[in-house]
Chain A
Amino acid sequence: RKEVEQDPGPFNVPEGATVAFNCTYSNSASQSFFWYRQDCRKEPKLLMSVYSSGNEDGRFTAQLNRASQYISLLIRDSKLSDSATYLCVVNLQTGANNLFFGTGTRLTVIP
């Protein structure tokens, strides 16, 4: 079983739509969680960390459900510039190789 599972999409949504991505993780010892955004032919960039109480940054909301072992990312009022691949990243509590990446979810926002 993979450490992190993520729906690869693609998600094609119209401008202004709300879209949500989920990511599940298998190890209950996972400590910290992140969403990264990767544009085509660019490096992954941190979008936001995910906190236990949930957190919001403008149109983006991240949630963590430890009981069900999943994290989510909600994008409201989608913009064309939101088109990218969104990677969830899970950090285990221990171990030198303790970062695990989801496969990424491809989002295309359509005019």
Chain B
Amino acid sequence: DTEVTQTPKHLVMGMTNKKSLKCEQHMGHRAMYWYKQKAKKPPELMFVYSYEKLSINESVPSRFSPECPNSSLLNLHLHALQPEDSALYLCASRPGVGNTIYFGEGSWLTVV
């Protein structure tokens, strides 16, 4: 059974706060992703980790900081966000570059 779990499901934070989004998968997938999705838009790639190393950073502002502590975990550290950063943040994983990608349920972030 494929499962990517994300916490928290909902997060409200002020512009001066520091918070983190967490993602976990135990499927042995070696590629893990962070996407940002705004309403009525497709997911937009932020970061890709491949074998625990950051392989893609899609020109994401430094107020977003990814971390991959081990092959099962992926974090997204948030600091000094702006209201326009409010969105659904999706974690995803897949076994390899040619395979299906599996999404977590997402974390709804609201920046106030």
B101 in the interface (beta carbon within 8 A)? yes
Q: Given the complex, which residues of A lie within 8 Å of B48, measured CB to CB?
A: 96-97
Give the CA-CA distance A31 to B105 in the complex, in Å. Answer: 27
Across the interface, name the chain A residue whose C-beta is closest to B100. Answer: A46
Across the interface, name the chain A residue whose C-beta is closest to B41. Answer: A103
B43 touches A101 (CB 8 A): yes
Chain B: interface residue count, which band?
Answer: 20 to 34
- Given A96-B55, A97-B56, A89:B101 Cβ within 8 A: yes
Q: Digitize A66-104: 1 where CB-to-B-CB distance is under 8 Å, 0 elsewhere.
A: 000000000000000000000101010111111101111
B41, B55, B98, B105: the one contacting A43 at CB < 8 Å is B105
- Given A96-B48, A101-B42, A103-B41, A43:B104 Cβ within 8 A: yes
Across the interface, name the chain A residue whose C-beta is closest to B103. Answer: A43
A41, A49, A87: the one contacting B42 at CB < 8 Å is A87
Q: Given the complex, which residues of A lie within 8 Å of B98, measured CB to CB?
A: 31-32, 91, 93
| 57-103 of chain B: CB within 8 A of chain A | 58, 88, 90, 97-103
A68 CB to closest chain B CB, in angstroms? 22
User: What are 10 A-B pairs at a CB distance below 8 A?
Assistant: A43-B104, A44-B43, A87-B42, A93-B98, A94-B97, A96-B50, A96-B97, A97-B48, A98-B97, A99-B45
